[in-house]
């Protein structure tokens, strides 16, 4: 069963907030539609970038992700929660969160449970690495806020953790104010970030 919360995104062109919906508990149809909208757009733009000689390191690093596969792999597990951020009849962002089995690595919080953001991504038309003028901003902020709320609902006091793709490291470190615990050799050497209860309060303030 899914629940829907009314939220807003910022339309970059007009500079105004527009109505959006945060969906907790996506259906297969929601994910299939998102994948059908995202993939052709992403493939076309990546192809253009490759033809223009853009180096591989500048291409979107999650271009091979398949959200339907992620949905299929996790849909039967209650410990996984898939969120979608819908605006103007299209999915603007997706997030897969895990609510058990992960504990804090920060010394002062060590061993305390957290919500682990397994995957988080914005629609390709919202990515500055693909288009010069992204359509909506706030996609990441709303999804991170959702993960914090989920953590609070689970009584984890807002603790969240994630492995960031390199192009997003600065956003999690500076804009979200998360603690950077450095590269994790067990997870493709991606940097591991955590948000403490205090950082979560600050983020939501």
Min separation Cβ 10 and another protein, Å: 4
- How many residues would you count in the chain? 205
Instruction: Find the helix packing angle between 139-153 and 197-204, rounded to 10°.
Output: 130
Minimum distance from CB of 144 to another protein (Å)? Answer: 8
83 or 196, CB closer to another protein?
A: 83
Span interacting with another protein, options 30-38, 40-48, 49-57, 147-155, rule CB under 8 A: 147-155
- Residue 159 found at the interface with another protein (CB under 8 A): no
φ/ψ of residue 11, rounded to 5: -75, 115
Based on the shown chain and the rule CB under 8 A, indicate whether residue 171 belongs to the binding site for another protein.
Answer: yes
By beta-carbon proximity to another protein, the closer residue of 90 and 165 is 165
What the block records as the tokens of 155 is 């009584």
Sites for another protein among residues 58-77 (CB under 8 A): 60-62, 64-65, 69-70, 73-74, 76-77
Q: Is 98 an interacting residue with respect to another protein (CB under 8 A)?
A: yes
Residue of 26, 42, 120, 123 that binds another protein (CB under 8 A) = 120
User: Nearest 10 degrees: CA dihedral of 101, 106, 111, 117?
Assistant: -20
Residue selected from 30, 42, 82, 119 as contacting another protein according to rule CB under 8 A: 119
Nearest to 182, CA basis, from 190, 174, 191: 191
Structure tokens at 161: 């953790």
H or E element that contains 111: none
What is d(CA 202, CA 205) in angstroms, rounded to the nearest whole number? Answer: 5
Find the shortest distance in angstroms from Cβ 46 to another protein: 14
């Amino acid at each position: 069963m899914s629940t829907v919360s009314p939220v807003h995104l910022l339309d970059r062109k007009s500079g105004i907030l527009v109505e959006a919906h945060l969906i907790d508990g996506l259906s297969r149809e929601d994910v299939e539609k998102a994948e059908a909208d995202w993939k052709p757009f992403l493939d076309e733009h990546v192809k253009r970038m490759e033809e223009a000689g853009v180096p591989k390191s500048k291409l979107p690093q999650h271009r091979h992700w398949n959200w339907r596969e992620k949905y299929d792999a996790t849909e039967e597990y209650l410990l996984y929660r898939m969120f979608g951020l819908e605006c103007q009849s299209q999915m603007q962002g997706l997030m897969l969160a895990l609510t058990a089995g992960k504990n804090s690595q920060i010394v002062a919080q060590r061993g305390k449970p957290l919500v682990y953001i397994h995957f988080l991504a914005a629609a390709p038309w919202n990515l500055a690495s693909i288009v010069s003028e992204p359509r909506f901003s706030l996609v990441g902020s709303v999804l991170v806020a959702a993960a914090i709320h989920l953590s609070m609902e689970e009584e984890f006091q807002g603790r969240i953790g994630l492995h960031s793709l390199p192009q997003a490291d600065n956003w999690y470190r500076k804009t979200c104010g998360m603690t950077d615990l450095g590269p994790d050799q067990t997870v493709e050497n991606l940097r591991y970030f955590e948000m403490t209860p205090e950082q979560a309060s600050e983020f939501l303030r």
